[in-house]
Amino acid sequence: MIRKTALLLDDVLVAQAKELLGTRTTTETIHEAMREVIRVQGRARHFERLQRRRLADGDAPR
């Protein structure tokens, strides 16, 4: 589902994100930025689960 909404955005942050993400439009930039946050946080949570499992199994962190 996609919906239209009004946002107050910092133009400098949008421009920086566009450059880093290689996007052209503000909408595309926001969508890609949200995807990136989800990817990064998902990896971090997965890593934390692996670390907890290793500690529970008696392995020392490296």
- Predicted structure pTM score: 0.72
Residue 52 lies in a domain: yes
Query: The domain containing residue 47 runs over which residues?
Result: 33-57
Number of separate domains in the chain? 1
DSSP class per residue in 18-61: HHHHT--SHHHHHHHHHHHHHHHHHHHHHHHHHHHHHHHTTPPP
Q: What confidence tens digit (pLDDT) does each residue in 12-45 have?
A: 999 999 999 999 999 999 999 999 999 999 888 8
Q: What is the DSSP letter of 1?
A: -
Q: What is the DSSP letter of 6?
A: -
* 40 HSE (CA, 13 A, CB side): 6
Q: Where is pLDDT greater, at 30 or 61?
A: 30
Residue 44 lies in a domain: yes
